[in-house]
Structure 1
Amino acid sequence: MKNTLTLSLFFLFTLAAGSAVATEEPKFTSNLKEGAFEVRSYPALVAAQVSVTGTQDEASRAGFKLLAGYIFGGNTQRQSIAMTAPVVQSQPGSQTIAMTAPVIQTAIPGGAEGWTVRFIMPSKFTLDTLPTPNNAKVQLLELPPARYAVVTFSGLANEDDVAKRTAELNTFIDKNALRASGAPELARYNPPWTLWFMRRNEVHIPLAP
């Protein structure tokens, strides 16, 4: 997709030897569901984000690395926080924050291949209780409640796939007399080593109230 497309990248992790670990995802209310299509309402969420440049894939890797550094100990606190997922080995004495979905990647308006990549923080945290990032590139913020039209699909979610699903989702929006209020987002729910036919992806489009 071009820079006009907003993308969300959602990463879930599994343990080695086939045992799965549940990863916290934001709770939502389903307002309408028709097959692969759905309208969801999300509450206010707390997130960490960075701004990076490069292609979609380059920005995804760069942003993920910066944010992973924060949640895996790159912060000012010196106390342990119980992990929900994934199970990781953190640096001794540092605070580790549980990974959750989504990881959100957004095209920066007017920027050349510029993106904002965002991790949603575990629900038990607020802006006041999150530790301060050691890296100044990592910003903490609160996202307001939002409503989205969503389509779910499998596969690699390449640019052609996303364009096709976005068109289908826009048709669903028009059919149900809804009104888009922002650019599309791509949600990926699996780690990159997952076989293509086992992957779960979504395109999200924010809706007007």
Structure 2
Amino acid sequence: MRRTDLSSGARTQPPSVDRAGSGKAGPALILGAALLGLGLGAYAIERIIPRRPMLRGRVIYRDGDYEIRDYPAFHALEMSLYGGREDALQRAFERVSGADRDGERPAALLDPVMQSRRSNAADGDDTGFTHGRWSVRVPLSAARAADCGFESVDPRLRVISVPAQRVAVLRFTSTEDVAFGINRVMLEDFVEDEGLEAEGPVFYAYYGLSRALPFGRQHEVLLPVSP
């Protein structure tokens, strides 16, 4: 491409190196820089915001993304409220997290946040995710379970004791409601195929809700089964 020097009549410079397509380089570079910045920001957040300690179960069987785990007994902070799956989850988690912000004591909450539907779906809602009454529970660390005083913060919060139990698990990463429904059915089929007997409602487990960005978050479907 030639460039004309307007100050000296019609004189032209020698042809420059071919820069075909250079007009598209600007937006591409901007997009690349934005993605790099987003990635670095996510990495920084991962380093600055520590991962929440986890309630750990002993894996006794694994087949791909399916597992069977034995969990010990634990205490949990539970809240029940009405709404859609994601809306109820976020409102309950924010309320529970607010009750946990006490600088004079060690953090009480553990991953994963667990959610189950306590009432039937509204008429016409086959998935059960649009509206319903949900129970959201967050495991408590042993140091805070005995004397936490959470009920005084919000009367809807209560500390419950969860007995030791065996659960079937299916891991996935999608945040779409349809994915939660599909994985629930897949886990129920797995339990039936393995000759196990379900012993409670399905729970959805969420890891990493305390992070500002959703990168690296993992979800699971949990179904208590007979030992």
User: TM-score, with normalisation over the residues of structure 2?
Assistant: 0.67
Q: SS of 1:124's equivalent?
A: helix
The answer on 1:103 being equivalent to 2:122 is no
Separation in structure 1 between the aligned mates of residue 62 and residue 99 of structure 2, nearest angstrom: 36
CA, structure 1 residues 111+201, in 2 after alignment: closer, same or farther (shift >3 Å)?
A: closer
For 2:188 and 2:77, the matched residues in 1 are separated by: 29
Choose the corresponding residue for 1:41, options 60, 70, 74: 70
Which runs of no fewer than 5 residues in structure 2 stay unpaired? 1-42, 123-131
Equivalent residue runs for 1:1-209 within 5 Å: 16=45, 18-19=47-48, 21-73=50-102, 80-82=104-106, 97-109=107-119, 113-127=132-146, 129-133=147-151, 134-156=153-175, 158-191=176-209, 193-195=213-215, 198-209=216-227
Q: Is the radius of gyration larger for structure 1 or structure 2?
A: 2
Post-superposition offset of 1:122: 1.3
Cα distance in 2 between the residues matched to 1:54 and 1:155? 20
For CA contacts below 8 A with separation 6 or more, give which structure has more relative contact order.
1
Change (3 A) 1:49 1:15: farther
Percent identical among aligned pairs is: 21
Deviation at 1:105, TM superposition (A): 2.1
- Give per-residue Cα distances to partners, 1:132-172, cap 9 Å, x unaligned: 4322111111111111100111222x221112212221222
Task: Judge conservation of contact 2:116–2:201 (CA < 8 Å) in 1.
Answer: no
Residue 25 of structure 1: how far off its partner (Å): 0.9
What displacement does 1:111 show? 8.3
Partners of 1:16 and 1:44 lie apart in 2 by 32
Inter-partner Cα distance in structure 1 for 2:134 and 2:150 = 22
Call closer, same or farther: CA 1:107–1:145 in 2, change over 3 Å.
same
Deviation of 1:200 after TM superposition, in Å, equals: 1.6
For 1:200, the aligned partner's letter is Q
Cα distance per residue 1:94-130 (max 9 Å; x no partner)? xxx3331122222223686211211111133333x22
Corresponding residue for residue 7 of structure 1: none
Task: In structure 2, give the amino acid aligned to 1:194.
Answer: P
Change (3 A) 1:181 1:17: closer
Tell me if the contact between 1:26 and 1:123 (Cα under 8 Å) persists in the aligned partners.
no
**TM-score in terms of structure 1 length:** 0.73
What is the distance in 2 between the residues matched to 1:107 and 1:58?
Answer: 13
Whichever residue aligns with residue 205 of structure 1, its letter is L
* Runs of 4 or more above 2 Å deviation: 14-20, 108-112, 123-127, 129-134, 190-193
Cα deviation digits, residues 14-68 of structure 1 (max 9, x gap): 9737445132111211111111110001111111111111111221122112212
